[in-house]
Amino acid sequence: MLLNASPDLPAQLRDNDILHPDNNGPARNNPIAAVIISGGDIDCITGLLTLREGHAFRLYAQDFVMSVLNANQVFSVMNGDLVAREILPPASPVTLHDASGQELGLRVEAFPVPGKIPLYQEEGRDLSALVSAESVIGLSVTDDAGKTLLFIPGCAHVTPEILERAKNAEIVFFDGTLWQDREMIDAGLSQKTGARMGHISVSGECGTIAAFSALMRTRKIFIHINNTNPILCDDSEEAKKVRDSGWDVAYDGMEVTL
């Protein structure tokens, strides 16, 4: 997810080439000024390794994730002189800055959501120790106009706090990993249910669609969708149910304006 609140971005970066380097800038550059990591899972942190090409940005993460990055030498490829690392405190809004300290016109607040520790940290722990309030967070991002989006790519179940935050947000990006709990098992791809992986199902009486059914004003978008999930097929019955319930399905290159 790329967030940009600056109207001063060059025209070529505001259009379809928003992620392309600025030809008038330094030899190595990128329009990404700040990165926020929402968890320690592999699919959250490995993208950092593609942002090592000698351009500056500010990296935000909660203490748990930053300790993972600091303990693994491979992430030292992010030059410390160019990439400023900043701890994202829980339940405390933070004004985002770029690597030079310039404000970006956005504020972010991290808040805990139900989930579990990363898969690579499970070894030697019993199931009761896998749930960790500090290892999974959602992000509330607010611009200078007071408009808010929620980013919750992984969530085990919807809490009253999440619903309250969603009610006051313009847009919610939410965990759409699986359509139903045994999806990976039935596809012969895993022996784990969605619940075991820390993901709520999209469908069902206790699923995401049901949990958010009363939120009519907020735009709701499924993200982090597994390739077994039939909502990725536009002509599927499941995709129709998603649309009929007021949800959108994210796609590569999707742009959303607050």
pLDDT in tens, 168-183: 999 999 999 999 999 9
2-16, 17-31, 139-153, 198-212: least confident range? 2-16
Note the pLDDT tens digit of each residue in 139-177: 999 999 999 999 999 999 999 999 999 999 999 999 999
Of residues 115 and 238, the one with the higher pLDDT is: 238
Distance CA 226, CA 184 (A): 9
Taking residues 19-46, what's their average pLDDT? 84
Query: How many angstroms separate the CA atoms of 101 and 211, rounded?
Result: 40
Label residue 62 exposed, middle or buried (CB < 10 Å: 0-12, 13-18, 19+). Answer: buried
pTM value surpassing 0.85? yes
Count of Cβ atoms closer than 10 Å to residue 81 Cβ: 7
Which neighbouring-strand residues pair with 248? 221
**Count of CB atoms situated within 10 Å of the CB of 90:** 13
Q: Which of 113, 114, 117 is nearest to 42 (CA)?
A: 117
Rounded to the nearest 10°, the torsion over CA 32, 9, 165, 239 is: -80
Q: And the tokens for 109? A: 């607040």
Task: Give the tokens for residue 208.
Answer: 């995401």
